Amino acid sequence: MDALELRERLAVAASSLRSCLEQQQAAGIAFLPAATGTQAEEPRGPVTAAEGGEVAAATDLQELRDVLGDCRRCKLSGGRSRIVYGVGRADADVMFIGEGPGEDEDREGEPFVGRAGQLLTDIITKGMRLRREDVYIANVVKCRPPRNRDPEPDEVAACEPFLVRQIELVRPRVIIALGRAAAQTLLRSTEAISRLRGRWHDYHGIRLMPTFHPAYLLRNPGEKRLVWEDIKSVLRELGTAA
Ligand code: SF4
């Protein structure tokens, strides 16, 4: 192919690309997806036996975070911006566990930020008279499920060894499971959160109180009084009730 022919072919290709883009623009498509050069990475599967040993051997939360690494063990890794590991006091008496990060958490890398997070902070500070940094906050899965759907069983199974070890390392006196998905997952139950909440359960020897998720309370503020009942039970258990 000579230079003239090459130029003509490039001109034809440029013209057809321009007309394609104009058609897309007319259809309201403003952006083209960024080219990555690679296909989305396949999840590489749950912890191996060797990694299970490393999880069990982690002696503090930072060591465990290092074992987690840039985790690609389940398909949630494909849609996340950041891993949301957990935050708070390493030897907290109270550990809050939600189901998974939402949009705000995925962006900031911290559990329970945004409006639901502010409500949880109010529960901790105004209801429990603690500081947010006095408790530990984590989720069942550490990457955001698409469209905030419930985590799927394979995703929970892949992530659970890390949550279990976080609980073992923090050794809280009380776990508060926030919402149906977290409570059902931790308790291996299919009961509705309205039936699970308000009474104590056992999680491997740790007292566990399920209650409604703050995001649910934002939609149903009338249910806050039930959460307050649950929190009062927790305060009695801790011996810090007013
Ligand atoms: S949800 Fe958990 S197991 Fe899945 S990729 Fe994220 S950190 Fe890994």
Ligand 1: which residue has its CA nearest to atom 6?
A: 143
pLDDT of residue 141: 98
Cα(71) to ligand 1 centroid in Å equals 6
Q: For the chain, how big is the Rg over CA atoms in Å?
A: 23
Is 75 touching ligand 1 by the criterion CB < 6 Å? no
Cα(75) to ligand 1 centroid in Å equals 8
Which residues, at least 6 apart from 212, have a Cβ–Cβ distance to it below 8 Å?
178, 179, 193, 197, 220, 223, 226, 227
pLDDT of residue 241: 72
Q: What CA–CA distance (Å, rounded) separates 202 from 187?
A: 8
Percent helix, strand, coil in the chain, to 5, is 50, 10, 40
Ligand 1: which residue has its CA nearest to atom 4?
A: 74
Cα(105) to ligand 1 centroid in Å equals 14
Note down the domain range covering 224.
Answer: 49-238
Count: domains in the chain: 1
4 domain residue, yes or no = no
24 domain residue, yes or no = no
15 domain residue, yes or no = no
Mind listing the pLDDT tens digit for each residue in 149-192?
Answer: 999 999 999 999 999 999 999 999 999 999 999 999 999 999 99
Q: What CA–CA distance (Å, rounded) separates 184 from 149?
A: 15
Q: What CA–CA distance (Å, rounded) separates 49 from 158?
A: 13
Ligand 1: which residue has its CA nearest to atom 3?
A: 159
Cα(32) to ligand 1 centroid in Å equals 28
pLDDT of residue 214: 98
Backbone φ, ψ for residue 87 (5° rounding): -150, 150
Q: What CA–CA distance (Å, rounded) separates 97 from 167?
A: 10
Low-confidence stretches of the chain (pLDDT < 50) are 6, 10, 13-14, 16-17, 20-21, 24, 27-39
31 domain residue, yes or no = no
Q: What CA–CA distance (Å, rounded) separates 179 from 36?
A: 37
91 domain residue, yes or no = yes
Which one, of 117, 87, 121, lies nearest residue 102 by Cα? 117
40 domain residue, yes or no = no
The CA-CA-CA angle for residues 130, 117, 150, to 5°, reads 125
Contact in structure between 138 and 97 (CB atoms under 8 Å) = yes
183 domain residue, yes or no = yes
Cα(242) to ligand 1 centroid in Å equals 40
- What is the CATH classification number for the domain harbouring 225? 3.40.470.10
The reported pTM is 0.83
Contact in structure between 89 and 138 (CB atoms under 8 Å) = no
pLDDT of residue 37: 39
pLDDT of residue 99: 97
Contact in structure between 119 and 34 (CB atoms under 8 Å) = no
Count of helix runs (H) and strand runs (E) in the chain? 10, 6
Mind listing the pLDDT tens digit for each residue in 39-52?
Answer: 457 898 999 999 99
187 domain residue, yes or no = yes
